[in-house]
Amino acid sequence: MSLTEDKAASSTGADDIVERVPTGLLIGGEWTEASGGATFEVTNPATGEVLRSVADAAPEDGMRALDAAVAAQESFAQVPALERHGMLMRAFELLHERKDALARLMTLEMGKPLTDSAGEIVYAAEFFRHFAGEALRIDGGYQASPQGGGRFLVARQPVGPSLLITPWNFPMAMGTRKLGPAIAAGCTSVIKPAHQTPLSMLALGEILLEAGVPAGVVNIVTAMDAGGVMEPMIRSGQARKLSFTGSTKVGKILLEQCASTVMRTSMELGGNAPFLVFEDADLDEAVAGCLQAKMRNMGEACTSANRIYVHESIIEEFGRRLAEKMGQMRVGDGSEDGVQVGPLIDTDAQDKVDALVRDALDRGANALTGGERPDGPGYFYPPTVLTGVSMEARMASEEIFGPVAPLTPFTEEDEVVAMANNTRYGLASFVYTNDLRRALRVAERIESGMVGLNQGVVSNPYAPFGGMKESGLGREGGSVGIEEFLEVKYIGITTG
């Protein structure tokens, strides 16, 4: 049975999407093996069980994929915008039709609970709907030259073959957030998903082919040696754009490589989001917002609340309520009904979260709930609330990427703004207050690309997503997202 028949399968509950998802490299519209037939295993982080083996690309496979993207670029750039719009809308519909099966696949390889995975499929599809619309709005300009005797024609053209690299935490949405604008702009691409979660991207590849995206326009390369496969493509001079989502550490390596060919880059990197709760905030809303900002994706989100600053007059009550809610969350295999918190992605992630918690406790923090790493199988970590976290603790400056909420008191607005900005990151921040003047004042002073004012989620396909400082360069989503895949060309015309 092909994925086309998936709707019926998933509605009967008899879906075997894990068995049916393609596991090869998608190159030039064909599913192919890696050189020498190499493969690597994809495992379920809740159980450690092997789900499938997928093709393990070698550097020459990456170059084959880039050649396919380069070969398809010129003709794809000529495809009318209405047709590109149609491809994206068909892919949007297919994602919705197959939501349940795709969610199951995502939960199995990434760990997040089924309802969260289903939510991500809807979120991911929305990038296709949004950029389908943007494809129709690529505009240009025509004006008289101020000196007279001439005209300026300003056109926007696809930037060209693009390299797209995505992380494991949102295996589908981080892909559609890049592929949506690339296809809308008329760019071909090679996309490389994280080795932990390639299956969702491979399922997406099949959907895109079915939606009518021409051969060679989207190529998918899965690999264990990400650097070994990507670097030759980056340095080849054949690709014109790199769009990366992942850690700041890898982002810096890639920026250096891109300098060799002055390649355009979009960098969506790490975060260290502050979450500020002023004494005049609605406490129920602030606790609910903190729960969302902290626990979305088990804390494995770049926008996750990493440092929670609460006014000293309310911190005790805030901590009590947050700990009660986090302590009640059901932890387990995300495939099981009612589970709210799945496993972390792998043992390294579990080790890191545990080390950060131990470090904070050693420096005098107190656990209101959680704080103990459970035994295996699976890479679980309990929702944890810590109070009295020292500014010297590692988690004050490092991305936790797990379900741990460190609370720190503050007294003055200036003081908390300084604490919030005391980081090399600047992706998201959250501010809870009922004082409008303060809300706007603080939102403007915080150095981050996105601010949630009395809201715990900032990610929205229709809004510009991205960071300042070491959190990145460029924006995805919103009306600016497509600009990252367009070149501006000026044509000077003599008329006089």
| Catalytic annotation, residues | 268, 302
Q: How far apart are CA 184 and CA 162, in angstroms?
A: 13
Q: How far is the CB of 185 from ligand NAP (least distance, A)?
A: 19
Between 186 and 271, whose beta carbon lies closer to ligand NAP?
271
Work out whether 190 is an interface residue with ligand NAP (CB under 6 A). no
The answer to whether residue 485 forms part of the interface with ligand NAP (CB under 6 A) is no
Burial class (CB in 10 A: 0-12, 13-18, 19+), 116: buried
Kindly state the tokens that stand for 429: 């921040």
Q: Does 194 bind ligand NAP (CB under 6 A)?
A: yes
Q: How far is the CB of 194 from ligand NAP (least distance, A)?
A: 4
- Residue 84 CA to residue 76 CA, distance in Å, equals 9
Tell the smallest beta-carbon distance from residue 422 to ligand NAP (Å): 18
Question: Dihedral of CA 340/345/346/352: which sign?
Answer: negative
Site string for ligand NAP, 378-417 (x = CB under 6 A): ---------------------x------------------
Contact with ligand NAP (CB under 6 A): which of 179, 308, 393, 427?
A: 427
Q: Which residue is nearest to ligand NAP (CB)?
A: 246
Among the residue ranges 162-170, 311-319, 382-390, 439-447, the one whose residues contact ligand NAP (CB under 6 A): 162-170
- In one-letter notation, the amino acid at residue 454 is N
- Contact between 460 and ligand NAP (CB under 6 A)? no
Q: Which is nearer to ligand NAP, 195 or 445 (CB)?
A: 195
Supply the minimum distance, in Å, between the C-beta of residue 29 and ligand NAP: 23
Complete DSSP assignment for 224-271: S-HHHHHHHHHHTS---EEEEES-HHHHHHHHHHHHTTT-EEEEE---
Closest separation between CB of residue 195 and ligand NAP, Å?
A: 3
Residue listed under structure tokens 């007279």:
148
The residues, any chain, with a CB within 8 Å of residue 489's CB and separated by 6 or more, are: 154, 155, 156, 157
Contact between 272 and ligand NAP per CB under 6 A: no
Q: How far apart are CA 220 and CA 218, in angstroms?
A: 7
Residues 302-341: x where in contact with ligand NAP by CB under 6 A, - otherwise, as a string: x---------------------------------------
Does residue 168 touch ligand NAP according to CB under 6 A?
yes
Candidates 20, 192, 241, 475; binder of ligand NAP (CB under 6 A) is 192
- Among candidates 80, 70, 102, 74, which has minimal Cα distance to 207? 102
Instruction: Report the residue number, 370 or 472, with the smaller CB distance to ligand NAP.
Output: 472
Amino acid letter, residue 188: T
Per-residue burial over 81-106, b if 16 or more Cβ lie within 10 Å, else e, is beebbbbbbbbbebbebbbbbbbbbb
Amino acid found at 463:
A
Q: Which stretch binds ligand NAP (CB under 6 A): 13-21, 59-67, 208-216, 267-275?
A: 267-275
Q: Which stretch binds ligand NAP (CB under 6 A): 56-64, 81-89, 164-172, 435-443?
A: 164-172
Of 245, 350, 387, 423, the one binding ligand NAP by CB under 6 A: 245
Please confirm whether the linkage preceding 377 is cis (ω < 30° from 0).
yes
> From the list 73, 117, 169, 433, which residue makes contact with ligand NAP (rule: CB under 6 A)?
169
SS3 of 206, please?
helix
CB atoms within 10 A of CB 313: 12
Q: Where are the alpha helices (DSSP H) in 422-473?
A: 436-445
Compute the CA torsion angle 403, 408, 410, 415 (nearest 10 deg). Answer: -80
DSSP-based three-state secondary structure for 42: strand
Q: Which of 58, 230, 368, 393 binds ligand NAP (CB under 6 A)?
A: 230
472 in contact with ligand NAP (CB under 6 A): yes
Identified binder of ligand NAP from the candidate list 141, 149, 227, 377, rule CB under 6 A: 227
Tell me phi and psi for residue 243, to 5 degrees: -120, 115
**Closest approach of Cβ 250 to ligand NAP, in Å?**
3
CB-nearer residue toward ligand NAP: 250 or 386 = 250
Interacting residue ranges for ligand NAP, rule: CB under 6 A: 165-169, 174, 192, 194-195, 226-227, 230, 245-247, 250, 253-254, 268-271, 302, 399, 427, 467, 472
